[in-house]
Structure 1
Amino acid sequence: MIRVLFVCLGNICRSPMAEAVFRHMVKEAGLDGVVEVDSAGTGHWHVGEPPHEGTRRILEQKGIDWRGIRARQVAPVDAERFDYIVAMDAENQGEVVRMLGLHRPDGKKRPQVFRLLELVPDAPTADVPDPYYTGNFDEVYELIRAGCAALLERIRRDLEKRQAGEDDAADDRR
Structure 2
Amino acid sequence: MIRVLFVCLGNICRSPMVEAVMRDLVEKQHVSEVIEVDSAATSAWHIGEPPHRGTQDKLREYGISTRGMKGRQLQKTDFEQFDYIVGMDDSNIQNIHSMLGNPHSPKIFRFLDLTSHRKDVPDPYYTGDFQETYDLAVEGCQALLEKIIQENRL
TM-score in terms of structure 1 length = 0.86
What CA distance in whole angstroms lies between the structure 2 residues aligned with 1:28 and 1:60? Answer: 17
> Percent same amino acid at aligned positions?
54
Partner of 2:81 in structure 1? 81
Partner of 2:24 in structure 1? 24
Q: Secondary structure at the match of 1:69?
A: coil
Q: Secondary structure at the match of 2:3?
A: strand
Runs of 4+ in 1 over 2 A off after TM superposition: none
What CA distance in whole angstroms lies between the structure 1 residues aligned with 2:54 and 2:97? Answer: 28
What CA distance in whole angstroms lies between the structure 2 residues aligned with 1:94 and 1:67? Answer: 30
Is residue 129 of structure 1 aligned with residue 126 of structure 2? no
Partner of 2:34 in structure 1? 34
- Considering only aligned residues, what root-mean-square deviation do their CA atoms show, in Å? 1.2
2:110 is aligned, of 111, 115, 127, to: 115
What CA distance in whole angstroms lies between the structure 2 residues aligned with 1:144 and 1:103? Answer: 24
Q: What amino acid maps onto 2:22 in structure 1? A: F
What CA distance in whole angstroms lies between the structure 1 residues aligned with 2:121 and 2:142? Answer: 15
Q: Secondary structure at the match of 2:103?
A: coil
Q: How many pairs align? A: 154
What CA distance in whole angstroms lies between the structure 2 residues aligned with 1:103 and 1:145? Answer: 27
What CA distance in whole angstroms lies between the structure 2 residues aligned with 1:5 and 1:16? Answer: 10
Unaligned residue ranges in structure 1 (runs of 5+): 105-109, 164-174
What CA distance in whole angstroms lies between the structure 1 residues aligned with 2:17 and 2:56? Answer: 8
Q: What amino acid maps onto 2:121 in structure 1? A: V
CA offsets 1:67-99 (integer angstroms, 9 cap, x no match): 111000000110100000010000001101110
Q: Secondary structure at the match of 1:3?
A: strand
2:138 is aligned, of 145, 149, 173, to: 145
Is residue 58 of structure 1 aligned with residue 58 of structure 2? yes
CA contact (8 A) 1:82 1:111 kept: no
Q: Which structure has the greater CA radius of gyration?
A: 1
